[in-house]
Structure 1
């Protein structure tokens, strides 16, 4: 049955969609001379979701996030973050976001707690100590709060870096290659932290070239290739793009991740009991 909508109903629907969308990108273009880096990029990110922008080196991922973060001007297109236009309301956009780059921006001389307190004070927030303690607990860093960051593992530094970026309760966070250079255990720690972000209602734009990372974390995945979005959907939707394979017999084998965690977990237990087999 077809029901014709009045102009007022169309406006109400558009407003509702805008409120439910944290990031809106349409027709985004960027060139450096004759080099076309972005050639009409379109995507939307729902509030409180994890959206992975997946692509190889040189696909335009970092250029896209720099435009979204107001660090770079687009040549064409419409971009809004938290309902603010990136081109005309850059100050409002910057107040709405946090950006975590490819390398942890932490002070190694200070302790983990001191890093968090410092950022809270720089943002002129009250109760900086309470804010720091809450984030330390949230990211499982309470036991290491008083230690110098120079003694932290790569995964711990990355978790602290993400925690620092959340001070001020930014509704949108950009994570640019958050697990680059981390060992397997560190990557899993960061994945857990990112899932916690979305669980608390934060919208996460994940920029990555790691397929397993997008598979593990993202509610939706967009594949950026040569400056264009060539696929965009849930993991289940993207799987439907390939024809199903005919399998007569499947024997489930443990993944390398499961093997790794089982081995180090067993080793930790033997250390705790003082036995070595």
Structure 2
């Protein structure tokens, strides 16, 4: 029950952030540079993934409907979903400029970003070992039937930019709500701890794990935010990059099918390069304070 409530609260937060991002776009508080790079990149990657996954899609066709109709519907639907997801994530990413109220022009402290990410990953690993143990996350095999099994699709890439954008948005919204932590500070703390609690309890299946992970997760999120993230939201690219790459490392180690290792390495490099570029090289943040 608590897990479902936590997931529902996160969905509401994401919807609110998406609406705010669209409003920021309409007001011109928007980075079209980030929007274009993320949108075009996700579209290209997604379109290639659709073409690459055609053997599996063709295998699922039935004799109930005309083949030509199924082909048209499949291609149209896939391209529409890729374009829509790329557009939404690009809008959220482009709105990062409007969240920014504290970024300095100093060098990005990437060590702090890595430290926070590893702390979260370590905590999640420890929680998965507590009884009752969580079910193992089995590697997926859906890429095995593709033309090129090492091309991993676009879900991880979309998840990376989506997660980074949501985290930056939350940093910006709480900073604006508290007027850079000068007013309504207590409410800001409560909001941070509530989000940290909801993030951590999703997926847990016992009261003990929900209580322990929720409380510690809330405190860890509050500490991460106050000590690191609120000072430079560019670290969000690094933190989410570590999260995504850690999942790819699991797939690379298990190597469930031919090409899984190469695909994990390839996508890991893409995410690492993206994290480096948007954290250190993106000019949209230059000069903001």
Question: Quick check: TM above 0.5?
Answer: no
Q: Identify the TM-score tier after normalising by the shorter chain.
A: under 0.3
Higher RCO, Cα 8 Å, sep 6+: 2
* Greater percentage in strand: 1
Q: Which has the larger radius of gyration?
A: 1
Instruction: Give me the TM-score of the superposition, normalised by structure 2.
Output: 0.22
Q: TM-score under structure 1 normalisation?
A: 0.23
